[in-house]
Chain A
Amino acid sequence: MAIKTKLSRRNFMKAVAAMGAATFLSTYKSEIVSALKEAGDYWHINWLNGAGCTGCTISFAQAADPDIVEVLTSITVGDSKLPIALPDYMETIHPASGTLAEELKERWAHGEPGKRILIVEGAVQEPGWCEIAGKDFREHLKEAAEIADYIIAFGACACFGGVPSAKGNPTGARGVKDFLKEEGINKTVINLPLCPGHPDHLILTLAAIMLGIIPELDQYGRPKAFFGRSMHDELCVYRPYYDRGIFATKPGEEGCRYKIGCKGPVVHTDCALRKWNNHVSYCVEVGAPCLGCAEPGFPDKFSPFYDEIPGLPKILGISPTTLGELLLVGSGVGIGVHLGKRVLSKGEHEEEEEE
Chain B
Amino acid sequence: MSRIALLLAVASFCAVAAPAQDAAREAAIAEYTRHMQDANYPPLFAQAAAEFHVPPDILMGVSFAETRWTQLEWPPGETVSPENGMPHAYGIMALWDNDHFGHSLQIAAALVGESPDLLKTNAFQNMRGAAALLRQLYDQGAKPPDAPDANELESWSYAIAAYTGIPEQDLARRHAGRVFEFIQRGFHEYGIAWAGHPVDLPKVRADLAATNPPAPAARPSSAPLTAAAPAEQPTPVKPEKTSPPWALIGGILLALTVVFFMARRAVGR
Do A and B share a complex?
no
